């Protein structure tokens, strides 16, 4: 295990502390030796209450309990770990199974690997206040550290502070920032950004967008227009549309994400501020109900507190004593 990987797991465990305490308080699962512990009704009731309190949601909680009950694992914690990973990475569920009962319930931790976008342009969307602009800066730094060249497009032209903030981050990181005039057409900025990225041969363009919800119809139309004009400037782009969700908003944030997903199909979600909530289980209904993967998670304010999401690492950190 590398030093960087070790440090990330330490930060991840720290960032999930509130959710872990929530599980411990409601189910008493943590700090107890549950190897070989039977699946009695009282324990399962406590586990159900804990999962619901952590914002896992009713349908997913029912599936998790069913998986725990039917698991051939002798260790309840191993069965719970498998069930959680299955919800977070449904296609990889079979990889988590181990019927021998002899291996640890967690997977060995590895250094986070970069999430490589399918193309060259990623639209970053989400409501105001979730930290889109800061997240873009952190993503930019992440990809630069993994050898990628990066550009930003300040597409939130209606919030002057957003463009100024992104420009400050661009100066700090040495990243070119495509700007437009305040109150101007965000689609024009996105078009210029995509055209410039293509001309320069830059690996990745991250496009900031507005997140006003006071007039949702206009916002969704605007996002669709931005999406279309990027494709006119660079065929096949944007390859990705990632929504930034504040974990503290929980189910409210998920409902917002559903509205965005209806208007412009998402390819991934970035979940921030997991350190500020006891309801980190919200990641499960995000994957389940949106049908898209979690790309990155954030557990603090520092740049390296945003890392690629790994379901095994997440569950290991969540259930650690």
Binding residues: 126-133, 208-212, 272-275
Which residue, chain included where needed, has tokens 């990745």? 204
H-helix or E-strand containing 218? helix 216-233
Neighbouring C-beta atoms of residue 6, cutoff 10 Å = 12
For every residue of 164-187, DSSP letters joined together read: HHHHHHHHHHT--EE---TTS-HH
Pairing of strands 240-246, 268-272: parallel
Rounded (10°) angle between helices 283-290 and 250-263:
20
Spatial distance between the Cα atoms of 166 and 308, rounded to a whole number of angstroms: 22
- 100, 300 Cβ separation under 8 angstroms: no
Q: Which two tokens stand for residue 181?
A: 């005039």
Phi, psi of 37 (to 5 degrees): -70, 130
Question: What token pair was written down for 229?
Answer: 């004009």
Binding residues for GTP: 126-133, 208-212, 272-275
Enumerate the β-bridge partners of residue 208: 124, 154
Distances (CA, A) of 193 to 118, 154, 198, 238, 316: 18, 9, 9, 11, 40
Q: Which two tokens stand for residue 63?
A: 């599936």
Coil, strand, or helix at residue 96?
helix
Distance from CA of residue 6 to its chain's centroid?
Answer: 20
CA 277 to each of CA 14, 109, 221, 274: distance values in angstroms, whole numbers, following the listed order = 12, 24, 32, 6
Q: The tokens of 146 are what? A: 């993994």
Report how far residue 35's alpha carbon sits from residue 204's, in angstroms, rounded to the nearest whole number.
47
């Amino acid at each position: 295990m590398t030093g960087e990987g070790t440090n990330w797991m330490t930060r991840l465990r720290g960032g999930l502390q509130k959710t872990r305490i929530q599980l411990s308080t409601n189910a008493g699962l943590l700090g107890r030796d549950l190897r070989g512990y039977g699946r009695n009704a009282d324990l399962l009731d406590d586990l159900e209450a804990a999962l619901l309190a952590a914002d896992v949601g009713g349908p997913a909680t029912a599936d998790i309990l069913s998986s725990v009950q039917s698991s051939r694992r002798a260790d309840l914690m191993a069965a719970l770990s498998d069930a959680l990973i299955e919800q977070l990475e449904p296609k990889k569920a079979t990889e988590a199974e181990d019927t021998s009962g002899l291996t640890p319930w967690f997977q060995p931790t590895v250094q986070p690997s970069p999430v490589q976008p399918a193309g060259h342009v990623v639209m970053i969307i989400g409501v105001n206040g979730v930290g889109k602009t800061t997240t873009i800066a952190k993503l930019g730094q992440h990809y630069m550290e993994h050898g990628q060249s990066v550009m930003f497009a300040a597409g939130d032209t209606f919030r002057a502070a957003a463009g100024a903030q992104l420009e400050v981050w661009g100066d700090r990181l040495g990243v070119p920032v495509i700007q437009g005039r305040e109150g101007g057409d965000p689609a024009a900025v996105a078009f210029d950004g995509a055209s410039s990225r293509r001309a320069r041969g830059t690996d990745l363009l991250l496009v900031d967008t507005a997140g006003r919800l006071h007039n949702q119809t206009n916002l969704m139309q605007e996002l669709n227009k931005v999406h279309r004009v990027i494709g006119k400037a660079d065929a096949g782009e944007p390859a990705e549309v990632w929504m930034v969700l504040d974990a503290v908003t929980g189910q409210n944030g998920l409902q917002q994400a559903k509205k965005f997903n209806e208007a412009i199909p998402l390819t991934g979600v970035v979940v921030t501020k997991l350190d500020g909530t006891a309801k980190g289980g919200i990641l499960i209904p995000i994957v389940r109900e949106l049908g898209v993967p979690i790309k990155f998670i954030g557990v603090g304010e520092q740049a390296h507190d945003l890392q690629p999401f790994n379901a095994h690492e997440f569950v290991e950190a969540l259930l650690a004593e």
